[in-house]
Structure 1
């Protein structure tokens, strides 16, 4: 059903994750490699992967630069970072670099399947802790502006911003807040203008800078 590449140098972890993928999506083709170079070698134009599950502590890895290297080979591939590194220290950095999700290896086993499903559904995956970290960073920055700086966000714009940072689409936000699609789209446009960004990734980059990541 899906073509999945697992870049992980711990064989037991790699095979365990592969089994989870196969249990979730019967018939999926799962490829396992133990170095970053082996992973990039498999990313050929004629063979498109749907998902890459990436350990950032991998031989040949370039840390945040790995995301850009993978996207340069297959721009539309979904990337889920699955690592033993502390999420409070590195999640925002990898998400801002373009990863679709970040999951700690210390998370409960059921979260792996949830993260995989969410990323394959073209949504961002973050734990509640990281979502709160994102929200706190933005709200503190917005509320801390002086009157000489750009206008702050309205309460409704803050609600929309919080949901955008959770990886929700405009349609989902409209349903959750009981608003029209056009109204949510307008709020999103105003948020981007006030925050002086043009896309979600730039929002994450601002968070990264404000947190000193």
Structure 2
């Protein structure tokens, strides 16, 4: 029996994804999350999850940061990114950060179902109209390298990194996460070492590189 998690903060689109998943995986168990924190908690509680349908923009995740966190903390779970950011270069970056495929938010229910079945069968899926273009784009060495470095972080270290990116001081991070300030300092030291950065500014620049602009519109 397959286990799927739909992580999207838009109830209507979440319902559409659930409908497509239910029709194509009738014996599957489907979970839902409306923000990144809930998605990560659910994955921690359900280690046998097979597939996550992940929106790139929802509370706690802007751009590729949620994908990076999920892949780093749960590398055994397949991820299908679902987003309105359907430019070929963005999709190439999504693949470089470990996603098994990409579903545009303009995809039909049949395409969503096809993507889900393909990835559950250990395959991949890309929009047919863009597949050739995406395949012709070289992998981005910077993205690939960053994905490897982010994968070294523990779940708590990633939380600390995200708060560093918001400009919070150690004491503020300690209060937010309900941990000791000395524990935050230890996490920050480990984060700098694993990411190969020297200070908060450099760590924030790495996080900023994961953000995406507004989706292109015709």
Superposed pair shares fold, TM > 0.5: yes
Cα drift, residue 133 of structure 1? 1.6
Question: Residue 60 of structure 1 aligns with which residue?
Answer: 60
Question: Residue 176 of structure 2 aligns with which residue?
Answer: none
- Structure 1 segments, 4+ long, off by >3 Å, are 134-138, 206-209
Cα drift, residue 90 of structure 1? 1.3
Structure 1 gap ranges (5+): 139-203
Matched, 1:33 2:33: yes
Is the contact between residue 24 and residue 113 of structure 2 (CA under 8 Å) also seen in structure 1?
Answer: yes
Is the contact between residue 84 and residue 106 of structure 1 (CA under 8 Å) also seen in structure 2?
Answer: yes
CA RMSD in angstroms, aligned pairs only: 2.3
Q: Secondary structure at the match of 1:124?
A: coil
Is the contact between residue 115 and residue 125 of structure 1 (CA under 8 Å) also seen in structure 2?
Answer: yes
Cα drift, residue 78 of structure 1? 0.6
Is the contact between residue 102 and residue 125 of structure 2 (CA under 8 Å) also seen in structure 1?
Answer: yes
Alignment of 1:42-57 (within 5 A): 42-44=42-44, 47-57=47-57
Partner deviation per Cα, 1:108-135 (whole Å, 9 max, x = no partner) = 2210001111111111211234322234
Matched, 1:83 2:18: no
Question: Residue 105 of structure 1 aligns with which residue?
Answer: 105
Partner deviation per Cα, 1:71-124 (whole Å, 9 max, x = no partner) = 233211010011122332411111111000011011222100011111111112
CA distance in 2, matches of 1:124, 1:114: 10
Question: Residue 3 of structure 1 aligns with which residue?
Answer: 3
Matched, 1:123 2:58: no
Cα drift, residue 46 of structure 1? 5.5
The structure-2 alpha-carbon separation of the partners of 1:207 and 1:137, relative to structure 1 and needing over 3 Å to count, comes to: farther
Cα drift, residue 19 of structure 1? 1.8
Cα drift, residue 30 of structure 1? 0.8
Is the contact between residue 22 and residue 28 of structure 1 (CA under 8 Å) also seen in structure 2?
Answer: yes
Q: Secondary structure at the match of 2:140?
A: helix
Partner deviation per Cα, 1:148-197 (whole Å, 9 max, x = no partner) = xxxxxxxxxxxxxxxxxxxxxxxxxxxxxxxxxxxxxxxxxxxxxxxxxx
Question: Residue 140 of structure 2 aligns with which residue?
Answer: 205
Aligned residues: 145
Cα drift, residue 45 of structure 1? 6.2
TM-score normalised by L of structure 2 = 0.60
TM-score normalised by L of structure 1 = 0.61
Structure of larger gyration radius? 1
User: Mean Cα displacement is larger for which, 118-127 or 90-99?
Assistant: 118-127
